[in-house]
Amino acid sequence: MSFKEVVEAIRNMHGTVLVLTHHNADIDAMASAVALSQGLSQLGLDTSIGVAESVAKVAKKVVGDVKILINPDCSKYDNVILVDTSVPEQLAAVKNLRADIIIDHHPAGPLVQAAKVVCVEPFSRSTAQIVYSLLKDMDCTVDKSLATVLAAGIVADTAHLRFAGLPEFEVLTELLRIGADYGEVLSLLTTPADPSDIIAGLKAASRMQLWKVDDILIAISKLGSHEAPAARALQKLGADIAIVAAIKEDEVRISSRASDRIAEYEIDLSEIFNKVGELIGGTGGGHPTAGSANGTDTKAVDNAFEFILKAISKKVGKPYKKLD
Ligand SMILES: [Mn+2]
């Protein structure tokens, strides 16, 4: 289906419209939904915005005081336009889920099958840039504030332009010409950190033990809670691998974060934490650069730490040494 046909299909819509997006909706999802719904209103359509479950904390600023429906009922609308996803699992809480039109930049998911109009562009780095092109072709007015919101979507989904290519920079330049305020874009993208997360990070740092395997720095610490943000904080400080245990009365949780360079040594934290789970009388797993485990054997924590160091040492083929 050509872009022109998509524009025509949207233009020829009648009745009420629900612009719907995925659970824990991020900045790109919300920017796309807000901008599209404003464009549709300009065309005289009665438009609502809905999300599954919730809007992510980081996207609250982009939404501002625009009304967002949580878990709407699709059967109440003549048209449902789905943005930034085509995967039903991300919309499980939505009632009578249906997608007539799909606008997305992820690889096509199962909902594409039944949709009448599909505009899926996996080469676009954001849905916001697709929405901008649609609005332009529909002759909608993109004012300064809408341009700022759309720019926020692009900047967010490209990790502050790190993954942006020529198409993203071109759209961004157009948005800046319209009057998007880049300072405002950056402020839409920043959310103040949770104070308890900051404290956890600082405490973990003050109690940390530092180890080295070849040139890999491993930071290990113990806390009472907030192990995941603390591990992230230690990684931000420069540890290649950060491991933090939260030890409670009858429960222990261990969380880890690592930089991508551990892949060079074929270290997979999900594999290691699978075993860690067994060691602490529970279960574990995760991702190659973010392993975690929960268990009930609070006395096994030091054993678990030693196991992790040994596992890393084995992969690298060098001993582990403590740094004082
Ligand atoms: Mn997106």
Distance 159 CA to ligand 1 centre (A): 11
Distance 141 CA to ligand 1 centre (A): 22
Distance 204 CA to ligand 1 centre (A): 33
pLDDT digits (tens, 9 = 90+) for 14-28: 999 999 999 999 999
Give the CATH class of 195-323.
alpha beta
CB 104, CB 94: distance < 8 Å: no
CB atoms within 10 A of CB 46: 11
pLDDT > 90: what percent of the chain? 97
The one-letter amino acid at 209: Q
Distance 36 CA to ligand 1 centre (A): 14
Tokens of 200: 């956890």
**What is the arithmetic mean of pLDDT over 52-59?**
95
Q: How far is CA 117 from the centre of its chain?
A: 26
Residue 53 has pLDDT above 90, yes or no: yes
Distance 13 CA to ligand 1 centre (A): 24
Distance 226 CA to ligand 1 centre (A): 28
pLDDT digits (tens, 9 = 90+) for 206-222: 999 999 999 999 999 99
- Domains of the chain, by residue range, sit at 3-189, 195-323
Distance 124 CA to ligand 1 centre (A): 9
Residue 192 has pLDDT above 90, yes or no: no
**What is the arithmetic mean of pLDDT over 235-242?**
97
Which residue carries 């880049």 as its tokens? 182
Please give the biggest Cα pair distance in the chain: 70
Residue 92 has pLDDT above 90, yes or no: yes
Distance 86 CA to ligand 1 centre (A): 11
Distance 220 CA to ligand 1 centre (A): 34
Query: What residues have a C-beta under 5 A from ligand 1, the ion?
Result: 28, 84, 127, 157
Distance 162 CA to ligand 1 centre (A): 15
* 127-137 vs 27-42: helix crossing angle, rounded to 10: 10
Distance 42 CA to ligand 1 centre (A): 24
CB 276, CB 294: distance < 8 Å: no
pLDDT digits (tens, 9 = 90+) for 22-46: 999 999 999 999 999 999 999 999 9
Residues in the chain: 324
Q: By C-alpha distance, which of 216, 225, 221 is closest to 234?
A: 221
pTM confidence score: 0.76
State the average pLDDT for the chain: 96
pLDDT digits (tens, 9 = 90+) for 253-290: 999 999 999 999 999 999 999 999 999 999 999 989 99
Distance 104 CA to ligand 1 centre (A): 7
Distance 28 CA to ligand 1 centre (A): 5
Distance 323 CA to ligand 1 centre (A): 42
Q: Helix, strand, or coil here: 292?
A: strand
Distance 44 CA to ligand 1 centre (A): 27
For domain 3-189, give the fold: inorganic pyrophosphatase (n-terminal core) (3.90.1640)
pLDDT value of position 142: 97
Distance 286 CA to ligand 1 centre (A): 23
pLDDT value of position 1: 80
Q: How confident is the model at residue 324 (pLDDT cuts 50, 70, 90)?
A: confident
Distance 126 CA to ligand 1 centre (A): 5
